[in-house]
Amino acid sequence: MDSKKQRNIPRHIAIIMDGNNRWAKKRFLPGIAGHKAGADAVRSVIRGCVDQGVDVLTLFAFSSENWQRPQKEVNALMELFLLSLRREVKKLHKYNIRLRIIGDKAGFSAEIQRAIDDAESLTASNDGLQLNIAANYGGRWDIVNTAKILAQKVADGALKPEDISENLFDQTISLGDLPAPDLCIRTAGEQRISNYLLWQFAYSEFYYSPLLWPDFREKALAEAIDDFGCRQRRFGKTSEQVEGKADA
C-alpha cells in the first residue's frame, strides 16, 4: 500500500455482517454453523484492522429486530454471544483491545449482562483498537434514547431546551466520544443500512461486498480500505476547496 493510501486509512470502520445464514444454507448446514463461521471472520477482520492501523471497529452483531427470528436461532445466538464474551475477551485483552457493547443491554438475560460488564471492565484500560459490538441495537432506538436522556436533563433543570444542539446530541448518542464512522462495509451484496447507526452515518462512505460474511477476511478488508483511500470526502465543500484550489 502506497503512502497516499496509508494517509487515507479510515479511523473508524463500521460493518454490517450479513450472510451467515446463506453461507450455511449453501453448505446444507444449520444456521448456527454460519454464525460460528462468522465468528472466525470477526477474528480475521479484527486482526486486519490492527494491522492496517484502524482506530475503531464497530460490528453490527444483533439488531433489535433480530428477536423476531425463530426462537431456536435466537437461543443459539445468545449462547454464542455469552460464550464469546467469556472466551474471546481474554484474547482481546491480551492484544490490548478495548471492548464496548452498545445497544439496549436491558433486553438481555442477567447472565449476559453480567458477562458484558465483566468483559468491558477487563478491557477498560486498554488503549489499542477500540472494538464496539452493537447488540440489541437499532439506530432509531439510539436516537430516541438520546432524546430521552436530554429530555430528562431538561426535566431535572440541568439543561435548557435552547441549549440542545446538534453537537450536544452528537456527544450524547452511542459512540459520541469516538470519531464518526468513516467507512461502512456491508457484506452479502445487500445495499441498505438496516437501522444501523442512522445518526452516526451522516457522512460515512459505503462499501458493499458480494462476499457472505464468513468469507470476508483480511484480504477483503484491505480491498475495502483501498477503495476508501481512493475516494474524495468533501463534507459539503467543492472538490476545488478540498484540493486547496479555491478559497474556503
Read off the pLDDT of each residue in 140-153 and give the average, rounded to a whole number. 98
Does residue 236 register a pLDDT over 80?
Answer: no
Considering the domain boundaries, does residue 185 fall inside one?
Answer: yes
Read off the pLDDT of each residue in 53-76 and give the average, rounded to a whole number. 94
Sorted by sequence, the CB contacts under 8 Å of residue 23 that are 6+ apart come out as 34, 37, 38, 212, 213, 214, 215
| pLDDT the model gives residue 1 | 42
By the 8 A CB rule, do 102 and 139 touch? no
Does residue 100 register a pLDDT over 90?
Answer: yes
Total domain count, the chain: 1
Considering the domain boundaries, does residue 173 fall inside one?
Answer: no
Considering the domain boundaries, does residue 123 fall inside one?
Answer: yes
Does residue 110 register a pLDDT over 70?
Answer: yes
Show which residues are catalytic.
Answer: 18, 66
Read off the pLDDT of each residue in 101-108 and give the average, rounded to a whole number. 96
| pLDDT the model gives residue 243 | 61
Would you state the cell numbers that stand for residue 37, as one nine-digit string?
463461521
Considering the domain boundaries, does residue 36 fall inside one?
Answer: yes
Look at the pTM and tell me if it is higher than 0.75: yes
Does residue 79 register a pLDDT over 80?
Answer: yes
| pLDDT confidence bin for 2, thresholds 50/70/90 | very low
| pLDDT the model gives residue 234 | 56
Write down the mean pLDDT value for the chain: 92
Angle value at C-alpha 139, between 227 and 13, nearest 5 degrees: 25
Does residue 245 register a pLDDT over 60?
Answer: yes
Does residue 5 register a pLDDT over 50?
Answer: no
Considering the domain boundaries, does residue 235 fall inside one?
Answer: no
Does residue 7 register a pLDDT over 60?
Answer: no
Domain that residue 111 falls in: 3-138+180-230
Considering the domain boundaries, does residue 247 fall inside one?
Answer: no
| pLDDT the model gives residue 87 | 92
Lowest mean pLDDT among 36-40, 66-70, 211-215, 233-237: 233-237
Give the CATH number of the domain where residue 87 resides: 3.40.1180.10
* Single-letter amino acid code for the residue at 232: Q
| pLDDT the model gives residue 231 | 85
CB atoms within 10 A of CB 98: 19
Sorted by sequence, the CB contacts under 8 Å of residue 203 that are 6+ apart come out as 180, 233, 235
